[in-house]
Structure 1
Amino acid sequence: MNIAGWLAGAGRSDPSLPAVGHGTRVVATYGQLAEATARLAGGLAGLGVRPGDRVAIIAKNEPDYVAALHAVWWAGAAAVPVNAKLHPHEFAYALENSGAAVAFVSEGLETAVAATAPAGLKHLVPLGGALHARLGASEPLDLVERADDALAWLFYTSGTTGRPKGAMLSHGNLSAMTHAYLAEVDPTAPGDRLLHAAPMSHGSGLYMMAHVVRRAVNVVPESGGFEPDELYALAAHWRRVSLFAAPTMVKRMVGGLGSGDPTALRTVVYGGGPMYAADAVEALDALGPCLAQIYGQGETPMTISTLRRDMVADRDHPDWLARLASVGQPFGIVEVRVADAGDVPLPVGETGEVLVRGPTVMSGYWDNPDASMRTLAGGWLHTGDQGAFAADGLLTLKDRSKDVIISGGSNIYPREVEEVLLRHPGLTEVSVIGRADPEWGEIVVAYAVGAATPEALDALCLDHIARFKRPKHYVFVEALPKNNYGKILKTDLRALDRKMAGPQ
């Protein structure tokens, strides 16, 4: 199946229903969106895009994102959505690694993308620009048939080495994810709304499909991002609003509630980082019973486990606080186990690596068979997360074995930052860790051996990686803690940092 067929069906059966909103305005009905998508797909075909090709989308949240993403699928190609906040060198890597010959970009990003674009990128299409308009005036293309296992979304996610890897998500993977969302997280009806306050290149965009298949409205804030005041104003206008939010965004929603009306929120799905039980209680007090949690990865998009709205809100349950500290129960569509280093399942209460298999799990990493074989060993996705099951089937995460730092809902991989910092000739060793932070969840802290100024290290980071990955603090030490084999002990370093930072 081609998941763009859901939009084609909506355009035929419900052409007058609103499909896309921008601020408080309806900017496209389902009939208009399907027509625009078919024409844009025809324009892509005119540029030489063929089934199986990759088309990148390097764009901020904007209304044209919806048609652009669906046009890629409509033409039989695979989408490569890239976070618009990344550094141009990171854009270049995704473009080169994926082999994309065409990229949609937000106006204002053309120069940054073009400056480092690989030779294989033949066409840069600014959304809302002249070329976009010309492509959108093409003859409509018939929906291209695709098999369930055909590549639909190349989701770039970094690993412990710091080199991004493209998780290959098929039409079947995304279909399974969509139906799991509708069945267990947020049953959606025609006229409901999804507010894209988080990046559409990631979780918010993945949930777009569920709202298309159910004829709901995809609403893009005029700011293109997350502002609590704007969010509550839009919720009051649209009503029955759902959104995906990192835990740090939920905290800001609580702090910025003011005179906002939380009853306009249908569901706030939080994930992408730890939500502490105390923060969940505070959010429930402020926002009411609209909170639901999901745990997933790019390799099994948004679909490992979920804590449903009724479970979050059930204060009378004797294990309510323990539930809030967990990541819920496995989705019915996947199998989840906790295993030891030999992949042997562990009993209830014991901590091990979280393994997943099922129809949402990727087929592997693009052009990276070694990493694919390691990650999918034995037919199970090895998440790298450490967790334990309780007797009632709830999964609690204990640690992230890959040392990923989650700041503001974005993954930051220490090795990537360390490699940049070690370009400074004055540093001999560097270790990057996350420090707990009440606003961001975690902030990046770099421990370094050698001599350099914070200003020089900041400049180095800004030249090579996205701004949000830059360390917030630099700590210079005589030596880093190591074991007998010379390996840096990040666990000891984090303990030292907690003592230095004091109570949070």
Structure 2
Amino acid sequence: MNISSFLPSVANVHGDKPAVSLGTKRLHTYRAFSDRVTGLAGALRGELRLSVGDRVGLAMTNTPQYLEILVACWHAGLCVVPMNSKLHPKEFSYILDHAGVKICFVTENLTEGVSESLGTVDGFKQVICVNDDEYETLIKHAPINKVDVSATDPAWIFYTSGTTGRPKGATLTHQTLLAMTLRYYADIDQPSPEDNYFHTAPMSHADGLYALPHLIKASHHIVPESGGFDVAEIFGLLETYKNATFMAAPTMLTRMTNHPKASEARSENIKTIYYGGAPMYLEDTKRAIATFGPCFVQIFGQGESPNTGTSLSKELHADYDNPKYEKRLSSVGLPRTGVEVRIVDEEDNEVPTGEIGEIVLKSDVVMAGYWNDPEATSRTIRNGWLHTGDVGFLDEDGFLTLKDRSKDMIISGGTNIYPREIEEVLLMDSRLEEVSVIGRPEADWGEEVVAFVVLREGASITTEELENLCLNNIARFKRPKEYFFVDQLPKSNYGKILKTELRKHFHLKNS
């Protein structure tokens, strides 16, 4: 099977439907999109001389060409290696080398950084800028038919952030992508040709993967002109497009809710906002629902099990009268269709309901393994179970609640402290925009709790007020020993708060 098999039927049935737009500017119908894909696939196998299974790098910001390159590579029997556009040239070089990438498509701003690897990475032979005339020449190549590949052939390799050493390439097969797509239809949403999918999150991550179920159903794909998540721009697009679906990290949703024009946004034109990538705090979720309505779906997963672990449906977001509503809204929902979820201790023994442990998953959406890294694969997938590194618990109804990443847990005096619990308490005060709690080295206790705080514009608060808020809601040993007021928190390309960067502050300070 080949995951691009949908293309001919979509082009035949929905050929005149819009496929891709840049902001409000229409670019291609599905018939034209299909022609561009099959032409580029022909160039990849012909002029560029790539063979079935070869890896193709994508070092690109969000751009309309991203979609056609993804599908063209699959159509040609190739495997894509999407890379975070904010990587350093040396990080690009490592991935290009480790994955054995032959050619790499880039946006103009990344041409120089990626080109540094030409001549230094064995087998890496060409950088193609999608903004150049050369790219459009490739598109006009004679088309080819879909190349037959095995269901277990690699289709997508995404390199993890490397918080515990070098990044590792989570390998997803054609079969994995199909299973992910079917779970999307079962648990998240039913796209249609009338839907408009906004590419507001990085297409190198979950946003690009979730383009697939929308392409198969002939939805209209809109790439914002900014190439990313700009709240005012999203509100502007909602003036033009109905039935809008897009993805947002929790920090992005908070920015939407707090925007001065949030109350004026055409929220009736939003069909679905799915969010994930980090815990969403209860008060932030409630404010978002109050502002935009119950159009939300929360997803929990990771690159190794793409977007597919648990989900909290729109119906559960709107189940206001349920006595367990707030408890469930604080969770990441129920296991997805065909996904098993367990909580285990350090010896991989399942723990009783309500007890905290590591979250492990089993399903056909789990990666095949880490590319060229059997040791890391065997550490992460044991007895068929994917060990996520996330800590949480299952309640009596099967809802999963995240406590933290195991690496983010603070151990003070031998006691486990979960930063999210403290962050939830601090965010009860509406003057706080964002909070991140970490542990810093402490001679007697091992670690102690500190908090980084971003205030809303024009707001002020004292350390004493924050101290009292904690003392009134959590045990004394959990309260932060120091507060740092900052203008902003470091974030990843996807909007996830980078606690590793906050920790570096103390490593440098104490070195």
| Structure 2 counterpart of 1:91, one-letter code | F
Cα deviation, residue 17, structure 1 = 1.2
Cα deviation, residue 63, structure 1 = 0.7
- SS of corresponding position for 1:155: strand
Equivalent residue number for residue 394 of structure 1: 399
- SS of corresponding position for 2:192: coil
Cα deviation, residue 332, structure 1 = 1.2
Q: Is the 8 A contact 1:160 1:403 kept in 2?
A: no
1:314 equivalent to 2:319? Answer yes
| Structure 2 counterpart of 1:498, one-letter code | P
- Looking at structure 2, the residues matched to 98 and 490 of structure 1 have their Cα atoms a distance apart, in angstroms, of 38
Kindly provide the CA deviation profile for residues 227-263 of structure 1, in whole angstroms up to 9, marking residues without a partner as x.
Answer: 1111011122111000010000001111221521111
In structure 2, which of residues 321, 334, 341 is the aligned counterpart of residue 336 of structure 1? 341
- Looking at structure 1, the residues matched to 433 and 56 of structure 2 have their Cα atoms a distance apart, in angstroms, of 35
Equivalent residue number for residue 280 of structure 2: 275
1:481 equivalent to 2:442? Answer yes
Equivalent residue number for residue 73 of structure 2: 72
Cα deviation, residue 162, structure 1 = 2.7
Equivalent residue number for residue 325 of structure 1: 330
Cα deviation, residue 161, structure 1 = 2.3
In structure 1, which of residues 236, 247, 250 is the aligned counterpart of residue 250 of structure 2? 247
Aligned pairs (5 A) from 1:202-351: 202-256=205-259, 257-351=262-356
Cα deviation, residue 170, structure 1 = 0.6
Aligned pairs (5 A) from 1:49-448: 49-117=50-118, 118-119=120-121, 120-256=123-259, 257-403=262-408, 439=433, 442=436
- Looking at structure 2, the residues matched to 243 and 56 of structure 1 have their Cα atoms a distance apart, in angstroms, of 25
Kindly provide the CA deviation profile for residues 60-115 of structure 1, in whole angstroms up to 9, marking residues without a partner as x.
Answer: 11111110111111110100011112222211111111110100000121112112
Equivalent residue number for residue 469 of structure 1: none
Cα deviation, residue 21, structure 1 = 1.4
- Looking at structure 2, the residues matched to 96 and 239 of structure 1 have their Cα atoms a distance apart, in angstroms, of 43
| Structure 2 counterpart of 1:54, one-letter code | R
TM-score normalised to structure 2 length? 0.82
TM-score normalised to structure 1 length? 0.83
Q: Is the 8 A contact 2:442 2:448 kept in 1?
A: no
Cα deviation, residue 137, structure 1 = 1.6
- Looking at structure 2, the residues matched to 403 and 11 of structure 1 have their Cα atoms a distance apart, in angstroms, of 47
1:498 equivalent to 2:486? Answer no
**Structure 1 stretch displaced more, 379-388 or 249-258:** 249-258
The count of aligned residue pairs is 440
Q: Is the 8 A contact 2:449 2:480 kept in 1?
A: no
- Looking at structure 1, the residues matched to 150 and 158 of structure 2 have their Cα atoms a distance apart, in angstroms, of 19
- SS of corresponding position for 2:168: strand
Q: Is the 8 A contact 2:309 2:339 kept in 1?
A: yes
Equivalent residue number for residue 16 of structure 1: 16
Cα deviation, residue 333, structure 1 = 2.1
Q: Is the 8 A contact 1:18 1:191 kept in 2?
A: no
- SS of corresponding position for 2:101: coil
- SS of corresponding position for 1:143: coil
RMSD: 2.4
- Looking at structure 1, the residues matched to 338 and 307 of structure 2 have their Cα atoms a distance apart, in angstroms, of 12
Cα deviation, residue 442, structure 1 = 3.6
Query: For the structure 1 residues 399 and 171, does the alpha-carbon distance in structure 2 shift closer, same or farther, using more than 3 Å as the test?
Result: same
Q: Is the 8 A contact 1:349 1:388 kept in 2?
A: yes
- Looking at structure 2, the residues matched to 135 and 126 of structure 1 have their Cα atoms a distance apart, in angstroms, of 11
Q: Is the 8 A contact 1:329 1:393 kept in 2?
A: yes
Cα deviation, residue 496, structure 1 = 9.2
Q: Is the 8 A contact 1:228 1:253 kept in 2?
A: yes
- Looking at structure 2, the residues matched to 228 and 502 of structure 1 have their Cα atoms a distance apart, in angstroms, of 27
- SS of corresponding position for 2:481: helix
Q: Is the 8 A contact 2:439 2:448 kept in 1?
A: no
Q: Is the 8 A contact 1:160 1:402 kept in 2?
A: no
Q: Is the 8 A contact 1:276 1:324 kept in 2?
A: no
Q: Is the 8 A contact 1:43 1:139 kept in 2?
A: yes
Percent identity, please. Answer: 40
| Structure 2 counterpart of 1:93, one-letter code | Y
Q: Is the 8 A contact 2:342 2:350 kept in 1?
A: yes
Kindly provide the CA deviation profile for residues 150-171 of structure 1, in whole angstroms up to 9, marking residues without a partner as x.
Answer: 1000011034423100001011
- Looking at structure 2, the residues matched to 352 and 234 of structure 1 have their Cα atoms a distance apart, in angstroms, of 42
Equivalent residue number for residue 30 of structure 1: 30
| Structure 1 counterpart of 2:125, one-letter code | K
